[in-house]
Amino acid sequence: MKIHLFFFILLFWVTILQARSELEPKYRFERCQAVKGTCKTFCDDVEYDYGYCIRWRNRCCI
């Protein structure tokens, strides 16, 4: 039972560690502007999702 708990905590920790972003929010917005994208809640079908803008709900759509 302890080994299951250990693997659960390890998997949870690795998942949370991967979810962090290296870029600060202001740099994400500048990156979106550099590729001439727009920040929206949802991208249209004809647009490409480039990544997050300032908030995690806003996507950079190209």
pLDDT of residue 41: 86
Read off the tokens for 60: 């950079």
What are the backbone dihedrals phi and psi of residue 18, each rounded to the nearest 5 degrees, phi first? -70, -25
pTM for this model (two decimals): 0.50
Amino acid at 20: R
Question: Which pLDDT band, with edges at 50, 70 and 90, does 25 fall under?
Answer: low
Architecture of the domain whose range is 24-62: Roll (3.10)
| pLDDT for residue 21 | 57
Amino acid at 39: C
